[in-house]
Structure 1
Amino acid sequence: MARFALRLTADDPVSATEAASSFYWLSDRARSSFYSSVDPYLSDFGPVPPRNVDLVRIALTALAADRSVHRAGRGSNWNQRHFELEIPVSDPGPWARAAAALQHVLALLSGDTWELSFVPQPDRAPFTTAPLASAPARVVLLSGGADSALGAVHSRRHLAEGEHHLLLSHFSNTMLPPIQKHIAAEAMRLVPGGAQEHRIVRLSRRTRRIDGTPYPSEPTTRSRSLLFIALGLAVASLHHVPLWIPENGFASLNPPLGPERLGSLSTRTTHPAFLQDLSAAATAAGAHAVLENPFARHTKGEMFQQAAGFLGAEKASAFLSATHSCGLTGQRAHSIPAQRQCGVCFGCVLRRASFTAANLRDRTDYIAPSSDAAVQDWLRRSSVEQPVRNLLRRGIRNRDLIALDLPHTYPLREARDLCVRGLKDLRSLYP
């Protein structure tokens, strides 16, 4: 069992053991446990409602804990870990009542078990903020991936006269902001019209505790999407507008590649049950939590085809090739720039297949194949190509659909149809 606490002040006396298991999110950012472009009250955003500030703290503590405990093996539960978290919030009562639901949401996302407890936040000095700008039609998460890039374009195409939208990006890896800025600028250039604001937020755990000792570093961090969503909801809560989380529906359903590809081995960032349960839990605690996935019923290949239809093949090819879909880490260990994409992780495989299915030229500079034996061995160990081929051979079975853990409002026949179309995209790469 791993116990962690989030602390908003370093003044309270704690034991050495408690200090080692504490994350300090301090207004003095140089002394904080986090690289952060925002303070623990999110005053940089404006007057964010307290419950949405709380939700960001919950998500940040979960991600920091996730990063700080190694997974010991493989398998369907990947040696499931157990976490106990203590988080300071504006009012512990509503969150205590929502704790069971939030614990379920975190378990769905990471494959671990979680116990949450809440304490009152320390007093803070009053602050003033500039008057709010006019409300955007929506807030759109812009990660730097192809789906989020298409979400930005899709949102711009659906802005009514006089409307604008806000793009929100989050990063921990410093190679991402240039990609995010380029995509935002290109979306505005390719779809002229309404105004656009783009905010980039840095919020991630440092490699060392505030006493200088190193944290463990678990690379999988499946809970990171919860922090991105919580930050997006914090911005959306300023005007009570929807938060768009653009992700192709096939990846959202997360069909298992095989019996070993369950739990935290695959992401459930936009799984329908995750989004539905997160929205319900946060709303029950009093937070703003209106979540929408505009591509929930589309495959990535279909999204690429639509982009080719309204942008033209050449513009769509250039725009999408400039995005970053790779989920693999470790490039720098082989003296490869972090922004180069591997070509063999699931994100890259689905990306390559979608270019092929849409008959678009993929200009991405993938690492695979490599003439370097060490690099090729790393790629081989990281590759999902054979599991994808196995999935294509066997197809989608009834037990695969049951394993999706869909909410009762999502008909299985629609899930099957979407998965079959997703496999068709993949089959264009592996005929």
Structure 2
Amino acid sequence: MSRVICYPRCCVPEYYSDDCYYFEMFSVPEHKKSNVGHVGVQLFRELRKSKIVPTVEALDFTIIAMAVVAADKAVLRRSSADGWTRKIELCVYLHEAAKWRKEKRKLEDMLRFLSGDFWKLNINDLPESLVPQKKYDLKKQDCICLLSGGMDSLVGAIDLHEEGRNPLFVSQIVRGDADHQREYAMQFGTDNLCQWSNNVNKKGKSENSTRARSIIFFAFALLASCGINCNTQGRKELFVPENGYISLNMPLDPLRTGSLSTKTTHPVYMNTLQEIWNDVGINIDFVLPYKYKTKGEVLQECKNQDLMKKFIFGSTSCGKYQRHGLRHCGVCVPCLVRRASFLKNNMCDVTEGGYCKENLQLADSKDVAAAALAVVQLKKNGIESLVKGTLSFARGEERNLYLGVIERGLLEIGALLKENGVI
């Protein structure tokens, strides 16, 4: 089992073992050993800049999230027994350690689902408070909305604005997306974007699969929520604009299961995180407005078509965007879903920078082949033949709604493949 210890300056270890990874939180470590990194160095400066003071619960969850992201990058999958599944023991220091220890099993199970790894959390007491002793006026915004720079988050921002809402947007700084995030937020007001980075710094090789990275996005949203007021029910709303087909992310290839399929906004993950937050007294409700819609339907039903069409082609969908020099590959599942959504809406696809592989017939892509086989099987044997255990978490009408979004999402991809002569 790989051990990762994340600590603030007040909990610096007396001794550094060579068989552990260490990350100092919120400051650069004085020790320059090869297995000592840091995470979240800029966080408190960014919070001051945004005029937000975190609650104890929000800061504790952020400590957990940053530690998870650091461990996710530190422990290489190729070093594990099967070349993928890791066993990670993670040590953190929290203000309300006793409260979070009660959530230990749920947290470990949630991380297991999210990353496909086995996690063991060691939760220790912080000897002193890290919460800034500062006060700011609450912001005028009435909800929180994730703004990734992707298509769905852009439409989510547009729809909220058209409904008369005033969201505080939260973005995680990612190379290639930061400018678009700022550009989108500016369409709906000023001083309405919290754009932060986890600043994980590790010496040597890092793991690039980062299946657990989305947890920090929700931690940032939680921090941002500390800057707005509650609604009349004493709660705050966190909007997560992601289409249902991508959220469910049903493997098109039967071999592509477990952590090989990302679960960034999967219902099981979202429900577990909501439970944990409720348990520890975090009064935030997740709102997933597009959980029963395909990406094509999200575009089709956008409440301001002109604004959507003005910015949509600068949005990012590709899972390999940075790897391809800030271009869409054109053939991964997110790219296929993107291209299919434009086709469904009869929109000429003028995505910025184009696609590395425009011609799907000549793409020689496993994802394209798997998608084609899935569409053929759908039309031959029906949707139930494909989903198998994908919807084992859902019951009754909810299952039917998820079943519908998977089927319609596949049919959108099928139309794209047919248009390109693949099937």
Q: TM-score range with shorter-chain normalisation? A: 0.7 to 0.9
Tell me the distance in 2 between the aligned counterparts of 1:281 and 1:407.
19
| TM-score, with length taken from structure 2 | 0.85
After superposition, where does 1:254-403 map in structure 2 within 5 Å? 254-307=249-302, 310-312=304-306, 315-328=307-320, 331=323, 337=325, 339-364=326-351, 365-369=353-357, 380=364, 384-395=367-378, 396-398=383-385, 400-403=387-390
Displacement after TM superposition at 1:151 (Å): 1.0
CA offsets, 1:314-369, max 9 Å, x none? x53331101011111663xxxx53x2111111111111111111111211123423
Cα pair distance change 1:67/1:127, threshold 3 Å: closer
Give 5+ residue unaligned stretches, structure 2. Answer: 32-36, 231-235, 419-423
* Alignment partner of 1:90 out of 74, 95, 98: 95
Cα RMSD (Å)? 3.0
Cα pair distance change 1:325/1:36, threshold 3 Å: farther
2:162 matches 1:157:
yes
Whether the 8 Å CA contact 2:251–2:257 is kept in 1: the answer is yes
| TM-score, with length taken from structure 1 | 0.84
Displacement after TM superposition at 1:198 (Å): 1.2
Which residue of 2 is the match for residue 211 of structure 1? Answer: none
Whether the 8 Å CA contact 2:46–2:196 is kept in 1: the answer is no
Identity %: 26
Instruction: Provide the secondary structure at the position in 2 that maps to 1:203.
Output: coil
Tell me the distance in 2 between the aligned counterparts of 1:362 and 1:30.
51
Count how many residue pairs are aligned between Structure 1 and Structure 2.
Answer: 400
CA offsets, 1:133-172, max 9 Å, x none? 3442211010111111111111111125xxx22111112x
Tell me the distance in 1 between the aligned counterparts of 2:407 and 2:285.
29
2:39 matches 1:50:
no
Tell me the distance in 1 between the aligned counterparts of 2:197 and 2:327.
21
Displacement after TM superposition at 1:18 (Å): 6.5
One-letter amino acid matched to 1:84:
E
After superposition, where does 1:130-169 map in structure 2 within 5 Å? 130-159=135-164, 164-169=166-171
One-letter amino acid matched to 1:68:
A
Tell me the distance in 2 between the aligned counterparts of 1:50 and 1:18.
32
Tell me the distance in 2 between the aligned counterparts of 1:285 and 1:233.
13
Instruction: Provide the secondary structure at the position in 2 that maps to 1:117.
Output: strand
After superposition, where does 1:165-180 map in structure 2 within 5 Å? 165-171=167-173, 173-180=174-181
Displacement after TM superposition at 1:424 (Å): 1.7
Give 5+ residue unaligned stretches, structure 1. Answer: 189-193, 209-213, 372-376
One-letter amino acid matched to 1:115:
K
2:182 matches 1:184:
no
One-letter amino acid matched to 1:70:
L
CA offsets, 1:31-71, max 9 Å, x none? 97136431399565522211111111111111111111222
After superposition, where does 1:187-202 map in structure 2 within 5 Å? 187-188=187-188, 197-202=192-197
Whether the 8 Å CA contact 1:317–1:361 is kept in 2: the answer is no
CA offsets, 1:356-398, max 9 Å, x none? 1111121112342389xxxxx9x756x5111111111112335
Tell me the distance in 1 between the aligned counterparts of 2:29 and 2:137.
25
Cα pair distance change 1:229/1:12, threshold 3 Å: closer
CA offsets, 1:12-31, max 9 Å, x none? 34323169511111345999
CA offsets, 1:282-323, max 9 Å, x none? 22123344211111111100011123x6324xx533311010
Cα pair distance change 1:93/1:35, threshold 3 Å: closer
* Alignment partner of 2:239 out of 213, 236, 244: 244
One-letter amino acid matched to 2:63:
R
Whether the 8 Å CA contact 1:355–1:361 is kept in 2: the answer is yes
Tell me the distance in 2 between the aligned counterparts of 1:356 and 1:126.
49
Cα pair distance change 1:408/1:351, threshold 3 Å: same
Whether the 8 Å CA contact 1:67–1:218 is kept in 2: the answer is yes
Which residue of 2 is the match for residue 99 of structure 1? Answer: 104
After superposition, where does 1:4-15 map in structure 2 within 5 Å? 4-9=4-9, 12-15=12-15
Cα pair distance change 1:125/1:320, threshold 3 Å: closer
